[in-house]
Chain A
């Protein structure tokens, strides 16, 4: 080391500057805002409009500080939320500058002159930045003796979000969130001066004194006349620094100081958002976005925020039920009795034609693993599948390669950094809202090129500044194969380092798509990420809740892997079933036709399955059905035994999100006596003389890790999972016989069972329509707005028609409208349908 000429000088690293804040020398990265620099030093400058994830506005003027540049004091105090650090700058906050302190006190007083004295009845009271900062930086009494500005209140700006304009400090956080983050035409600032207010077109009408329209009408439109839609509106409530935005769901329900908070993880989609669950006396009152920069930053979608009431539904099943042989009714029984009945029936079925397991896609890793192990050692079968949706053998082969991947492969951050992202058979805003937000951020902040292979310019396409690579439903594989020739730009983009391909759940409905994706990825070097729609799918895959895969992803046909697992599970050699099991459809078909005697069913809605009619038939035909459920369902209707299980709030565990990132959470509501699936299965297995070692989620996870590392110790067969091509029975599934192709997928907010009990959320769902091209509409004599009927020989579905840029001869219908399209028409994405005007 050479001697530095001046040792007293602190070294300023590259890309940094040196400045003085309140007399303290500080090194700060270039571009850092003064308000953050001060915060790093422990000085909190009061603020309202500033938000670290939104572009600076400088609107509230609460954060004023004194600044000296190049030895010259700036004539006016500066907004520390808009000014960035500079070399040699001298900053004085309220701590050392009487000018800054007076400026802040002055702004605070001004903010309060028109603020109502609502604190005692305001939802925000007790956690309100205005309250807190007024205490810290305001005067004790107001000099304002004149008339306050008043507004009628509250105004519903959606069925979920209520606006109180008197409380609003006009910080623009909500409007900037909607414009910058979500991209929704949601709320805007209207009017000017002291009459400036947040609103939609209809709220302005209320302001000028016309009779208030019905809340439902009012929430339905924005100023552009288009229906108000935002899947992210709840975030505005959370970031509102006052109680101006409240949710219909939480309004007046509790006070922050009565609540106990627990960090939690969202159970809805595979984004795996960090959340905070607030509860009071054993009941969840609300959910808020947690702060996880790697995953959801500080945002969540409205489903994650509001859809939790199902857990407190009055029809929750709390005690085991066994069907009474005489009356045919389910009757409450003791655990001992119910477990005995179930164990007897399942043992008998296992020893006869067999029993199979359908887990559903919403399990934690721990629970999914318990099902996986239960199937293998208690039922001695590989007949287990987590895919309660359309699925294919091709998909399973592909998924074998997904097992074990971590965020090092593709992550949220990788999406943000990617030069090009190709979305295939996925509607990110509907299926993984946080993936959508990252895509939008990537497009807006980093000019990422986002291309969507789909059927029409959806809002996901628009709001990610995306391009649509349009194809017929079912034609996605061909479209990908055509990229090299017909989309050279995209091809070159995918070959750039960091390019990503995102693949959604309906890929399983398109023949040949997985191999087309793999071909494309191999040729261009782009990385592929599989983004399932449900929170539990990735974990269930890892846990081996699949007919061809063991925990950790080895093929069931791999003798070495089986042997390793047998030793990890302390089983006799050779006891694990070796032939690949049936997939969901195979299981249902076997049950329906008498090839299986019993079904163990987790949280599944038959309407979600590829063939709901087959599912119902299978449930009715199976000799014995064990349902593990929270609430009565189409499965419990047919069940012989129903075992109640815990909700996410009542148990601990972890989800694996689509990145393969563990999302662990602890028990929020203690002492409910509700048991997680893994515990119930463990006890049931004991009744059947098998030991799962999954008494608790912790035990289950430890056992899972042992199983996975046992699998890792053997060399995996390289060539896929070794699935024997299943003789997939197709008789029950219809391809339709119409002339048009059907495009369909699920919207975020629909009739899903975990959204039950939340009407305000349901009110923000997108309206169900039939979308079709202008030419297709004309050919079928359909006027936009009028009803159109889509049909197959199985049935029909009538919805209002809307024109979109679909290929001619294609119609789009949401998969739940609320009718399940599979139930109504017996076809899915890519199926053939007929179309007619009006109610046929």
Chain B
């Protein structure tokens, strides 16, 4: 655990300033100072810096950003692209959109630095289509940045050119998966691509491409200004740095809480004012619905990539959804499963057919028409989806079910009990007729 004060904000430090999204405000608060430093260094040095800082992707998988950048070819035989994943679709996740609303220039500055480091001259920001207000704000910020010479030709006299295109998606969770996103950006139906080739070899328009999450890129200017040692003061050895935790559900003050990686739910709950009305915690997700749920047993699990994994889940997007004792687990699991059924892209058999089946079984159970065998069937179907699907959506889809049954099997069984008694009743009715 780090010694830094868990509430010293980094990424969110400007959020509460009036008009924080304006270029002038951003500039007053250290904005666009990192880009000046970065553009005076060779690109490889920026890549090395980000590697040293140990910045890991904030989009869910936690892949080291510097390592990913180093996969990009050193030459420029083909155009290079930087694509910002601002699709933010994981249930419970709401960090990227607030960030882009409150501090869009930090993302833009990060884009300039990252693009420079990867020798890209065109960056696309792929924003979830539903968040029109956010798209407007990004457009305005990009325009401001062009006018001030932070984008366009010969940025700040460095000779480096960069264009940013803000692109609105059309509303599909799968388009947050990076290769589906690229398909969607190219104007096709968003479905994940076969890998290899990986995006760094053949991504957008078959050119070398890096896809990074909004938060990942927005962190970069701070690393450039603060240095890797400063960055590593926060968080843990393998998961350094600050992170925005989106806390939602039954807490007193839901919202975005920035804290170092490795912070526990117990600490986060303190920040968020504790459980709402004091009703005790029942279950929670560490990083969105695709990460297996935790219970009150896990209040002290350090929320970094390693800690969450050791405890049997994943850090995901640090979307902490908190549920108190009034919530039925089978019901919540059914709702999540319906989400995955609706969002499955349909490309591969296990996820397409499996989510359709799982949702029906769960709906039936919640209606009180389930049987004990249904629980075995659910688990076995999950086993046939997990690790058998084409992309991680299928894996994520089974997380709520397997973890829900792991911790709350009794609740599922109880639903079958009602059914059992009903069944015998109707059998009697049938016998009398």
Contacts and interface: CB of A to CB of B under 8 A. Distances in A.
Interface of A: 56-62, 64, 75-77, 82, 102-103, 106-107, 109-111, 113-114, 143-144, 146-147, 149, 169-170, 189-196
12 contacts: A60-B349, A61-B349, A61-B388, A106-B388, A113-B356, A146-B364, A170-B349, A189-B189, A192-B343, A194-B341, A195-B346, A196-B352
A190 B388 CA distance: 23
Nearest to B354: A110
B383 interface: yes
Given A59-B347, A146-B357, A103 B388 contact: yes
Contacts of A149: 356
Contacts of A106: 350, 380-381, 383-384, 388
A82 B391 CA distance: 14
Contacts of A82: 194
A194 B346 contact: yes
B390 A61 contact: yes
Nearest to A58: B194
A193 B355 contact: yes
A102 B174 CA distance: 27
Given A60-B349, A192-B344, A194-B344, 7 more contacts: A61-B348, A61-B390, A103-B388, A143-B377, A147-B360, A192-B172, A193-B345
Contacts of A147: 360
B349 A193 contact: no
Contacts of B354: 110
Contacts of A195: 346
User: Which 6 A-B residue pairings sit nearest by Cβ, starting from the closest?
Assistant: A196-B346, A106-B384, A76-B387, A146-B360, A110-B353, A193-B344
Given A59-B390, A146-B361, A192-B345, A107 B189 contact: no
Interface string B149-180: 00000000000000000000000101000000
B389 interface: yes
Contacts of B172: 192
B342 interface: yes
B343 A77 contact: no
Nearest to B345: A192
A64 B345 CA distance: 20
B87 to A, nearest CB: 15
B388 A193 contact: no
Nearest to B395: A76
The range of chain B's interface size is 20 to 34
A77 B394 CA distance: 14
B384 A191 contact: no
Nearest to A110: B353
A55 to B, nearest CB: 8
A147 to B, nearest CB: 7
B30 to A, nearest CB: 43
Contact of A76 (B346, B348, B381, B388): B388
A149 B344 CA distance: 15
| Chain A CB within 10 Å, residue with most, of B172, B194, B364, B389 | B194
B253 to A, nearest CB: 36
Nearest to B340: A193
A191 B357 CA distance: 18
B59 to A, nearest CB: 20
A64 B356 contact: no
A102 B385 CA distance: 11
Interface of A, helix, strand, loop or mixed by DSSP: loop
Contacts of A57: 194
A812 B263 CA distance: 75
Contacts of B194: 56-58, 82
Contacts of A60: 348-349
Contacts of B352: 170, 193-194, 196
B357 A107 contact: no
A194 B172 CA distance: 15
A54 B373 CA distance: 41
Contacts, number: 100
A109 B384 contact: yes
Contacts of A62: 349
A707 B3 CA distance: 100
Contacts of B357: 110, 113, 144, 146
Interface in B52-73: none
A107 to B, nearest CB: 5
A111 B353 CA distance: 7
Nearest to A64: B388
Given A57-B194, A169-B349, A192-B345, A114 B389 contact: no
Contacts of B353: 110-111, 113-114, 194
Contact of B346 (A103, A107, A193): A193
A151 to B, nearest CB: 14
A147 B343 CA distance: 19
Contacts of A143: 373, 377
B349 A111 contact: yes
Nearest to B343: A193
A192 B183 CA distance: 14
A422 B197 CA distance: 33
Contacts of B355: 193-194
B349 A107 contact: yes
Contacts of B347: 59, 170, 196
A261 to B, nearest CB: 31
Interface string B326-369: 00000000000000011111111110111111001100100000
| Chain B CB within 10 Å, residue with most, of A58, A110, A195 | A110
Contact of A193 (B356, B360, B390): B356
B389 A61 contact: yes
Contacts of A75: 387
Interface string B99-128: 000000000000000000000000000000
Interface in B374-405: 377, 380-381, 383-384, 387-390
Contacts of B350: 61, 106-107, 110
A817 to B, nearest CB: 37
Contacts of A110: 349-350, 353-354, 357, 381, 384
Contacts of B189: 189-190, 192
A77 B381 CA distance: 16
A103 B384 contact: yes
| Chain B CB within 10 Å, residue with most, of A76, A194, A195 | A194
B169 to A, nearest CB: 14
A195 B377 CA distance: 23
A106 B189 CA distance: 27
A207 B388 CA distance: 29
| Chain A CB within 10 Å, residue with most, of B341, B346, B383, B389 | B346
Contacts of A59: 347-349, 390
Interface string B1-37: 0000000000000000000000000000000000000
B390 A58 contact: yes
A498 B344 CA distance: 49
Contacts of A169: 349
Contacts of B361: 146
B349 A191 contact: no
A558 B300 CA distance: 103
Contacts of A146: 357, 360-361, 364
A596 B356 CA distance: 78
A68 to B, nearest CB: 15
A190 B188 CA distance: 11
A646 B244 CA distance: 81
Given A113-B357, A146-B361, A149-B356, A107 B390 contact: no
A61 B354 CA distance: 12
Contacts of A189: 189, 346
Given A146-B360, A193-B352, A194-B352, A77 B387 contact: yes
Contacts of A170: 346-347, 349, 352
A191 B345 CA distance: 8
B35 to A, nearest CB: 39
B171 to A, nearest CB: 11
A200 to B, nearest CB: 14
Interface string B118-151: 0000000000000000000000000000000000
